[in-house]
Amino acid sequence: MADEAGPAIWVDGEPAAALLATDRGLHYGDGLFETLAVHDGRIRHLARHLARLSHGASCLDLPPPDRDTLRAELTQAAEGYERAVLKLLYTAGSGGRGYCRPAQPVARRILLRYPWPAAASAAAQAEGVRVRLCQTRLAGQPRLAGLKHLNRLEYVLASRELAAEGGEPAAEGLLLDGEGTLVEGTRSNLFLVRGGGLLTPRLERCGVAGIARAVLMECAAALGLPCEERRLDLDDLAQAEEVFVCNSIIGIWPVRAWDDHRYLVGPVTRRLQAAWEGA
């Protein structure tokens, strides 16, 4: 089945041409989202995405999502598509005055289906990408750390830095928090390889606990590769033997260059790429 030029949209399970202007997700970023990869009509890691959504809803005091309903709607949207991207928004719905929600909010499900992006190419996975350090920094908010919530202005601003760069564009930007600690990419999680083991930033103050990140940490354990979550800085990045970024759509992008630093697409990254394809 050919993908449509623009996204197909469903709201609460029904086809829709537009979104409600009163939705709190639009007004305040009051909600969560998941981005899911469709391969051969099947959704990769669907159970993990639904579990993360449920966890996020609990953290934000949103009504718990009905996983069976979501699973059925997502599966139907994926059916017949060789490659596609599904984006699920779960918002606090409409109502309430200002920032205050209604006493009993009615959550809204918004589902969009997009064509598979050209950026998620095999060439980037094979050859690696160049990244740059963004000047925009992430604010610390432990209550929101790890959640894939709808408030993404820091990431929008950081992504604009990539588009504004002269010369060879960077495929991804790396983000620091206000203390100068490495957190993640603008759309990905970050891993460093040193001494045959993996290092990835702790996400206790900000950042998104990605599905691919969790899967790859389990893959590393299965392969006998040490993996440590810790505070990392630019010195750690400079001293890394291999670097890669990951998310559910791009898989693993090896990093071949950051500023004047060059990295090999090494054996640990290749082993994890193979493990990811089978995960």
- Reported as half-sphere exposure (CB side, CA atoms, 13 A), residue 142 has a value of 1
Span between the terminal Cα atoms of the chain, in Å: 25
Taking alpha carbons only, the member of 10, 244, 246, 229 closest to residue 108 is 10
pLDDT of amino acid 169: 83
Read off the pLDDT of residues 46-73 as tens digits, 9 standing for 90 and up: 999 999 999 999 999 999 999 999 999 9
What would the two tokens of residue 84 be? 């596609």
Q: Across residues 169-198, what is the average pLDDT?
A: 97
- Type of residue numbered 75: T
Q: For the structural domain made of 8-115, what CATH number should be given?
A: 3.30.470.10
**Banded pLDDT at 216 (limits 50, 70, 90):** very high
> Average pLDDT, whole number, for the chain?
95
Contact at 8 Å (CB) between 193 and 237? no
Q: Across residues 192-196, what is the average pLDDT?
A: 97
Q: Across residues 13-39, what is the average pLDDT?
A: 96
pLDDT of amino acid 2: 38
pLDDT of amino acid 165: 58
Cα angle: 33, vertex 35, 36; to 5 degrees: 135
pLDDT of amino acid 129: 96
For the chain, give the longest Cα–Cα distance: 55
pLDDT of amino acid 1: 36
Contact at 8 Å (CB) between 165 and 159? no
**Banded pLDDT at 5 (limits 50, 70, 90):** low
Is 94 a residue whose pLDDT tops 80?
yes
Contact at 8 Å (CB) between 233 and 180? yes
Q: How far is Cα 266 from Cα 244, in angstroms, rounded to an integer?
A: 10
pLDDT of amino acid 233: 98
Q: How far is Cα 24 from Cα 30, in angstroms, rounded to an integer?
A: 5
Fold of domain 122-278: D-amino Acid Aminotransferase; Chain A, domain 2 (3.20.10)
3-state SS of the chain: helix, strand, coil percent to 5? 30, 30, 40
Q: How far is Cα 243 from Cα 252, in angstroms, rounded to an integer?
A: 10
pLDDT of amino acid 229: 99
- Spans of all domains in the chain: 8-115, 122-278
**Strand 227-230 with 197-201, pairing:** parallel
Taking alpha carbons only, the member of 72, 124, 83 closest to residue 250 is 124
Q: How far is Cα 103 from Cα 80, in angstroms, rounded to an integer?
A: 41
Q: Across residues 186-209, what is the average pLDDT?
A: 98
Is 15 a residue whose pLDDT tops 80?
yes
- Type of residue numbered 226: P
Contact at 8 Å (CB) between 163 and 120? no
**Banded pLDDT at 166 (limits 50, 70, 90):** low
Taking alpha carbons only, the member of 112, 96, 90 closest to residue 22 is 96
Is 164 a residue whose pLDDT tops 80?
no
Q: Across residues 148-158, what is the average pLDDT?
A: 98
Cβ neighbours around 20 below 10 Å, total: 15
